[in-house]
Structure 1
Amino acid sequence: MPKTMSQDEKYKMMTEDPIPGLIGRLAVPTIISMLITSFYNMADTFFVGRIGTSATAAVGIVFPVMAIIQALGFFCGHGSGNSISRHLGSRDEQAAGELAATGFFLAFALGILLMILGLAFLEPLSRLLGSTDTILPYTKDYLRYILLGTPYMTAQLVLNNQIRFQGNAFFSMVGITTGGVLNVILDPVFIFVLDLGISGAAIATILSQFISFCLLLAGVRISGCVPVRVRNVRFTAKRLREITGGGLPSLFRQGLGSVATTTLNIAANPYGDAAIAAMSVVSRIMMFANSALIGFGQGFQPVCGFNYGAGKNSRVKEAFWFCVKVSTVALLFASILCGILSGHLIGIFRDDPDVIRIGTAALRFQCVTFVLSGWIVMNNMMMQTMGKTLPATVLAASRQGLFFIPALLILPRFLGLLGIQCAQAVSDVLTCILTTVINRKVMGGMQDEEGAA
């Protein structure tokens, strides 16, 4: 376990340590956290899938609610975390403390509101999400327990991000990975040993999330992070504006990701179950690969926030370009390997010739443009951490929203199934172009700031 540092020691580390080693130390725990989270999500799907088709469908139907929970948590967590790192960089610990408390309790309050509304309208909500008469009982059983855990699930995401943005990724990793591993262990116990069925899967999920919540709450204190205190809550226009500015890109990213998944399923529907299954498997594989990239970028964010807040724009640029170069090289090798093994990777999830055929083509299309993701993601993370709300929100919305959804609606009209298979690649190219345009403007603004200083 790394030693606990004072705020002065953290400031010195963030603003003076050599960039490559600093980002490496911060990124390793976040990469591990993201990979384990992605893995246990796949394992959760595997265990529920053994109950039956209707149970599996119910978990998919509840996914938009899970996406809303994550969107609220990331909105408050990224919104407060980004601002905390900048305020610590400018040595304003009072403002950082107010943001930590406000972000945490805002997320908890939003979670309580979502829980009450969801439980009050459980059956209408289940039908609205797409439940049929046969799926409805499973949906209600699963959703009921998930809603009960909503308040601390949203708050847990806030704690995770606040700890990470203060340069304590190790403590964040412990909380997240412990919950992830526990969920994998409890799923088969509750589902099969205790014979709780799909309710057991939901109970395992919320219990694991509660353990993570408790560990992260303890991690705030142990790691020497800015404490979360009720007396520091400030629901003022200024603090809410800061949280909104930093969290809006995440809200758009999560929300549009949910809409994009629904649109993909609808677009693939005319081509049969094999097409839907194939695109679902491809999405799962790419999500796993993207989790490592996002974890690496999360190691960059506290460095960016501290140094931007301290007025050290040259270190922000150095860290940004270091991350772009490393991620691009890593993604190039990953894309080549994934392209070669694409058929085998699809077959791991579903041994069906049609699924493998459709999925292999789609995965290879995405491998061609996957190398662009380092440039796209690092720009988005830099702008969000610096508090550049408009450009960060536009970039967050572009890949899965502004370009991907229209591509899914337009390309199949001319290319049929091929249009669905290549839609994400087309979206990536267009997003890369937009990212380059916005990057030049933001970098130019940073140059002007340095000149003025």
Structure 2
Amino acid sequence: MELDMTKGNPSRVILKFFIPMFIGNLFQQLYYIIDAIVVGQFIGKDAFAAVGSSSAVLVFVTSILIGLAMGASAIFSQLYGGKRYDELKKTISTAFIFLFCASLIISVVTLGFLPQIISLYQMPQETAAYAAEFLKYNFLGFVFVGMYNACAFLLRSIGDSKSPLYFLVGSCLLNILLDLLFVVVFHMEVLGVAIATFISQVLAALCCGIYTAKRMQFLQFKRTDLVFSPAVFQKVAGYSVLTAVQQSFSSFGMMLIQGLVNTFGATVMAAFAACSRIDEVANRPLQDLGNAFSTYAAQNEGAGNTKRIRKGFRVTSKIIIAISGVISSISFIFAPSLLSVFVQKEALDVIAVGVGYLRVVGLFYVLLGFIVMFYGFFRGIGAIKISIWMTVVSQGIRVLLAYSFAPSLGFSGVCWAIVAGWFLSDLLGFHMYKKIMNDKYVEP
């Protein structure tokens, strides 16, 4: 069912929307996490390093697809919050045509440039072959990843964060079974992991698409509503492309850091790959809180309820502080155990490097939490350009410092560079939030 976020207690509304979305996106992250666990435990360190490094490319491209869908969903939420259903139908039709074409093009282009993408990563020879095999099927599945996210963000824009969860849970369970079947039973190694992920993503997209079509029946779609409006496309593309730029720029910064990490050798590569998986799980609730607040802000912006946006910001801040405190404590105390989930316990050198990362970066997850909350606020009210500047500051400083610190500090310099980028981005975000509050949302 849809959730009207313009009414009710802000904390309850945000949490009611956030919890199913968090669980759903956690399962989406489990695609890559399960792949990494199976590869690390049943194939070996070189294959694990290859799959872990390759995942940075997948996260980069997937972030573009998610950004496109996320940008369009901000418009969906504003129109839904303002009860402007005729405009909403035209926007949905135009956006879905655009998102499908964009996903298809991205899938074709990445497949066509697979050798060049592999060469950019400066991978050791023993990992490059594994990476090429793994990436090929994932690139093929981008069109289905794009359409799943288009449907999921449409459902979330009207307050339905539960339905995408169900499809992801089923898809993730299927991925686990296929991973074990193809790798452990049929000994297909990395190829089996890639095919298992592809099949699971296809089914998730198809099932979610069929459900979304039925779920939107309350809008009473007719054949005449299925149009591509150039005027609507300009607005959708403006939101979507800017959000995609923000998402992809963030991932591109991590790709540059991954390239630096690869120069330290397979041990550090494997440790960073394991830490990246832990980061993804640890940061997921913070990311989803930012997205939940974005939908909340967009619906209330559309309805003109500016005071509720301010209240929602305060509530979300408190939740982020509480959750990040718990996550940071767990990552610090249980760092060795968390790493041993992804790599064999005998790989003491990999675990040692990973523990150093988690006990620096993990302490400052709260900084990332505030970043994504600022992103959600600016995206929800339509000020996407500010989010992009925050990303530029965060990633630009992070990459610059990482390459500056690495020659003298080694891998620990990369860790502190990540923290510094988060801190400076938060300073910019808080400054712009205060400015907008004073200029636009002045309380009477």
- Interval of TM-score (by shorter of Structure 1 and Structure 2): 0.7 to 0.9
- Aligned partner of 2:169 in structure 1 is 177
1:412 aligns with 2:403: no
1:92 aligns with 2:87: no
Verify the 8 A CA contact 1:105 1:233 in the aligned structure 2.
no
TM-score for both structures, normalised by structure 1: 0.86
1:424 aligns with 2:418: yes
- Paired residues for 1:145-156 under 5 Å: 145-156=137-148
Distance, in Å, in 1 between the alignment partners of 2:140 and 2:222 is: 24
Distance, in Å, in 1 between the alignment partners of 2:224 and 2:118 is: 39
Verify the 8 A CA contact 1:307 1:316 in the aligned structure 2.
yes
Distance, in Å, in 1 between the alignment partners of 2:276 and 2:67 is: 23
Q: Give the number of aligned pairs.
A: 440
Verify the 8 A CA contact 2:406 2:412 in the aligned structure 1.
yes
Distance, in Å, in 2 between the alignment partners of 1:356 and 1:131 is: 21
- Aligned partner of 1:79 in structure 2 is 71
Give percent identity, aligned residues only.
22
Which of 194, 204, 207 is equivalent to 1:212? 204
One-letter amino acid of the structure 2 residue matched with residue 256 of structure 1: F
How big is each residue's C-alpha offset from its partner over 1:58-111, in whole Å with a ceiling of 9 and x where there is no partner?
534643552354134223211211001001122211221222222222221122
One-letter amino acid of the structure 1 residue matched with residue 204 of structure 2: S
1:334 aligns with 2:335: no
* Secondary structure class of the residue paired with 1:239: helix
- Aligned partner of 1:24 in structure 2 is 15
Distance, in Å, in 1 between the alignment partners of 2:403 and 2:37 is: 30
Distance, in Å, in 2 between the alignment partners of 1:58 and 1:226 is: 46
TM-score for both structures, normalised by structure 2: 0.88
Cα 1:195–1:280 shift into 2, 3 Å: closer
Distance, in Å, in 2 between the alignment partners of 1:295 and 1:441 is: 25
Distance, in Å, in 2 between the alignment partners of 1:409 and 1:24 is: 39
Distance, in Å, in 2 between the alignment partners of 1:201 and 1:61 is: 15
One-letter amino acid of the structure 1 residue matched with residue 190 of structure 2: I
One-letter amino acid of the structure 2 residue matched with residue 437 of structure 1: H
Verify the 8 A CA contact 1:275 1:355 in the aligned structure 2.
yes
- Aligned partner of 1:166 in structure 2 is 158
- Aligned partner of 1:304 in structure 2 is 297
Cα 1:329–1:126 shift into 2, 3 Å: closer
Cα 1:310–1:145 shift into 2, 3 Å: same
One-letter amino acid of the structure 1 residue matched with residue 98 of structure 2: L
* Secondary structure class of the residue paired with 1:387: coil
Distance, in Å, in 2 between the alignment partners of 1:418 and 1:116 is: 38
Which of 388, 392, 405 is equivalent to 1:393? 388
* Secondary structure class of the residue paired with 1:16: coil
One-letter amino acid of the structure 2 residue matched with residue 108 of structure 1: F
How big is each residue's C-alpha offset from its partner over 1:232-276, in whole Å with a ceiling of 9 and x where there is no partner?
455545323322333345423432343333333343455544333
Distance, in Å, in 1 between the alignment partners of 2:107 and 2:334 is: 43
Deviates more, 1:311-320 or 1:181-190: 181-190
1:46 aligns with 2:41: no
- Aligned partner of 2:271 in structure 1 is 278
Aligned-CA RMSD value: 2.9
Shift of residue 428, structure 1, vs aligned partner: 1.8
- Aligned partner of 2:427 in structure 1 is 433
Distance, in Å, in 2 between the alignment partners of 1:123 and 1:416 is: 29
Cα 1:321–1:81 shift into 2, 3 Å: same
- Aligned partner of 1:366 in structure 2 is 361
One-letter amino acid of the structure 2 residue matched with residue 393 of structure 1: I
How big is each residue's C-alpha offset from its partner over 1:20-39, in whole Å with a ceiling of 9 and x where there is no partner?
22112111101111222223
Distance, in Å, in 1 between the alignment partners of 2:144 and 2:265 is: 39
Verify the 8 A CA contact 1:75 1:244 in the aligned structure 2.
no
How big is each residue's C-alpha offset from its partner over 1:162-186, in whole Å with a ceiling of 9 and x where there is no partner?
1112100011211222212211111
One-letter amino acid of the structure 1 residue matched with residue 440 of structure 2: M
Distance, in Å, in 2 between the alignment partners of 1:143 and 1:177 is: 23
Which of 244, 251, 259 is equivalent to 1:251? 244
One-letter amino acid of the structure 2 residue matched with residue 378 of structure 1: M
